[in-house]
Amino acid sequence: MTRTSSNWPPTAKGYFAIGAERMSKSLNLGNLMRSAHAFGASFTFTVGATYRALEAHADTSKTQLHLPHYNWATLNDIALPGGCKLVGIELLDEAIDLPSFRHPLRAAYVLGPELGSLSPQLLERCDYVVKIPTSFCVNVAMAGAIVMYDRVKSLARFADRPVSEGGK
């Protein structure tokens, strides 16, 4: 199969957004936004981010030129499209393991801050809370990339993996 812009990468069904609550590091936000752009997000967002985070220095793909970014000051400001499920990403015992999670067709994934967890108020608003099966928390931008990869892998059409190791 020849890879062209019309058939590669495979397009996942539905749409998604990704963002973080109380983000404080511009490099992490920039990295998250760049990954979101690469994985086909419909928009990115922050909730209660500090001024430095809004600078997004590591976003070398200039995501804000290609898709919307929303800076919501408080939880009350969050305005998701109708039918969009809010999915918290948090390392909690009661959270759903990411490999066992069926992604909603319309989802907004929200990650916690670099030095903390999602607030209890935000967790209450989430339709689902999902955890990445790791021994401890990973970098917020890395966690976002893992979740987006899992979504695309789950909802886009890829060839089945071969029975033996390697490719085709």
The widest CA-to-CA distance across the chain, in whole angstroms, is 51
What value does the mean pLDDT take over residues 94-116? 95
8 Å CB contact between 86 and 125: yes
8 Å CB contact between 119 and 22: yes
The strand pair at 96-97 and 128-131 is best described as parallel
What value does the mean pLDDT take over residues 77-85? 96
- pLDDT tens track for 11-32: 778 999 999 999 887 778 888 9
Q: How far apart are CA 68 and CA 65, in angstroms?
A: 8
Q: What share of residues in the chain are helix, strand, coil (percent, to 5)?
A: 30, 20, 50
Ordered structural domains, the chain, with CATH:
15-155 (3.40.1280.10)
8 Å CB contact between 110 and 63: no
Indicate whether 53 pLDDT > 60: no
pLDDT at 156: 86
Q: Return the higher-pLDDT residue of 130 and 33.
A: 130
Indicate whether 8 pLDDT > 70: no
Q: How far apart are CA 47 and CA 110, in angstroms?
A: 9
Q: Tokens at residue 36, please?
A: 């979101």
Residue from 151, 167, 147 nearest 10 by CA: 151
pLDDT at 1: 42
pLDDT band with cut points at 50, 70 and 90 for residue 91: very high
pLDDT at 25: 79
Residues 6 or more apart whose CB falls under 8 angstroms from that of 158 comprise 10
pLDDT at 30: 81
Reduce the secondary structure of 28-48 to three states and give it as a string. Answer: HHHHHHHHHHHHCCCEEEEEC
Whole-prediction pTM: 0.88
Number of C-alpha atoms within 13 angstroms, CB side, residue 129?
Answer: 17
